Every structure is written in C-alpha cells, then in structure tokens.
Amino acid sequence: MYVMRCSKDDVFKQGRLNRYANIEMSPSAGVLNYGQGIYEGTKANRTEDGRILLFRPEQNATRMRHGAERMLMPSPSIQQFVDAVKETVFANKRWIPPPGKGSLYVRPLLLGTGPILGLAPAPEYTFVVYASPVRNYFKEGTAPLNLYIDEEFVRASPGGAGGVKTITNYAPVLKAIARAKERGFSDVLYLDAVNRKYLEEVSSCNIFIVKGNHISTPAATGTILEGVTRKSILEIARDHGYQVEERAIPVDDLVGADEVFCTGTAVGVAPVGSITHQNRRIEFKTEGSLVCKELYSTLVGLQTGRIEDKKGWTVEIH
C-alpha cells in the first residue's frame, strides 16, 4: 500500500510503498473522533493482451481535492494521486483478475490522523492507497436490482456534504440498507430531504431513467455525488445519439420509464428491475435490447481495452 503524510499547513511531498499493514494512530485522531476523512474508488483492469489499464484516475483525484476543500484538509496534487494509484496497482499486479473475471479495486483514503481533542481540523493528515481483487458488487451479479424508496431516511441535505465523498456519508445509510435487505430488496433509493419527492441516488451509486430516446439523471446540485461512471455514461449516451438531461426527477416519473439503471465504480452499470414506493411496485424492462446494456458494453470495452480509446480516458500502467 502507498502511504504519504503531511501536516495541516503544509503540502504533501513524498510518499512510499509499504507492505499492507494496520495504521497506528492516536485515539484522539481527527478521523476517529470527528469523521475528518474522505475516500475514493477506482479500478484497474487486465486486457486480453496482458496490459493493465486504469480508467480516468485524474477524475478521482479532482474529486478528492474538491472533497478535501469541503472537509478542510490538505490533499495530494492530481499528479501525486495518479502516481500513487499507479504505483499501488503495479506493486499488486499479480492480484489483478484475468480479463472478464473481475478487477483490482483501488481505494485511496485521506484521513485526519493527527490528535485533536477539540472540534478543529487535525494537525496531521495521511493519504493511503490500498487495493483488493473484486467481482460483482451486488450478490445478484448481473441480475436486475430491486430498489426500495425509504420514506424515513434521507442520504443528504442541501448545504451538507452529500456532494463529496466523505466517510461520514456512508455509515448513516447502513440502517436503511439493512432494513431494505430484510424485506428482500437490493438497496435503497433516496429522495431529496426538502420535498421528499425528487430522486437523489442509491446508497453507493447514481440512478438514471430511460424513456424512449431520452435518458435523465438527477442534477448534481450539492446533495448527490458526481460519480466518475455517471459522468462517463452521460458522455457515452450522447455519443450514441441519446437525448441526455440532468434535472430534478420527481418520483412520479418512474411510472412512465422504460428502463432504470444505476452507475458506479463498484456496480458498473446495473439494470433495475423494480422500485417499490409506498407499497407500490413499479417494474421496468430488463430483457431484450436494453439501453443500459448498450452503454455498459461501450464503457467496459473502453475500460478493458476492447474498444479503442479515442477519449484519452484510460491510463496504461507499465
């Protein structure tokens, strides 16, 4: 794993690879007491001809910098972030699954590790990158997801930190997810905190709805995370000739949708078979020629080197 440290008023300078091990820190570390931490997620894939590709790592670096500013933390430069990811992947390359069998998931962390008792920014920060081989995120694999709209819990509110990948956004959704899974659902789809009528996102992925040639996704207005996969699918959909719109999507719009799908680094592009809201189950097309499969095929083709990358999205690791 890669480790780099810096103090509060300094900049990150030089990190190094260490063996994967526990991180030692004070019980009064800012991250442990006040949740001053953010994380990222990206994947490395092995191509049929043996190359190793990263997908748009500079987008994750930019998002981490944006998150660090919100959480009052110093952050690595874009180049430092990308180089750290490359080094970590190269050092762990024997763990990258064969083509089609999975990916090496890469997890960069930025943590306030310095001790601070009062509510204030930590005096020292640690940037860590580790990795693990992964297969499908949802245990259904490529089977359609069945989502549940929870009326009680919200994921984020205006003025909060829902638009950045802070660690504090994730533990609060665990209860909602557990409740949904007890009822047989895959995950939770959250509504906005103010009106409780507009779609926001799923616990760990963005949502899209398809109607005819139109593809819509909730606009990123500070409460949803601007996913790298989301951004890529928006561009791929435009390339494929679809009318793409980022807008406020009322929950009632689900009724007329042809298809619904989720996007994220972990899930890729996952079709949604049904969404249950107020005891009403709305079902969507999941068989035959699907828009989400067409878009996912292009995305995976780029990520795995099967399609020529004319966008400069992939980074080869030597």
Provide CB contacts within 8 A for 136, sequence distance 6+: 142
Measure CA 7 to chain center: 28
- Token pair for residue 277? 């809201």
Q: Are strands 124-134 and 42-46 parallel, antiparallel or unpaired?
A: unpaired
Residue 318, class by beta-carbon neighbours within 10 Å (0-12 exposed, 13-18 middle, 19+ buried)? exposed
Measure CA 174 to chain center: 16
Place of tokens 């310095």: 114
* Separation of alpha carbons 13 and 4, rounded Å: 8
231 counts as catalytic: no
DSSP secondary structure string for all residues of 126-143? EEEEEEEEE--SSTTTTS
CB-CB contact of 292 with 303 (8 Å): no
Provide CB contacts within 8 A for 103, sequence distance 6+: 43, 44, 45, 96, 97, 133, 134
Of the residues 165, 181, 197, 293, only one is catalytic, namely: 165
Enumerate the H helices of the chain as residue ranges: 30-34, 57-70, 78-91, 174-182, 228-239, 291-303
Catalytic positions, written as ranges? 165
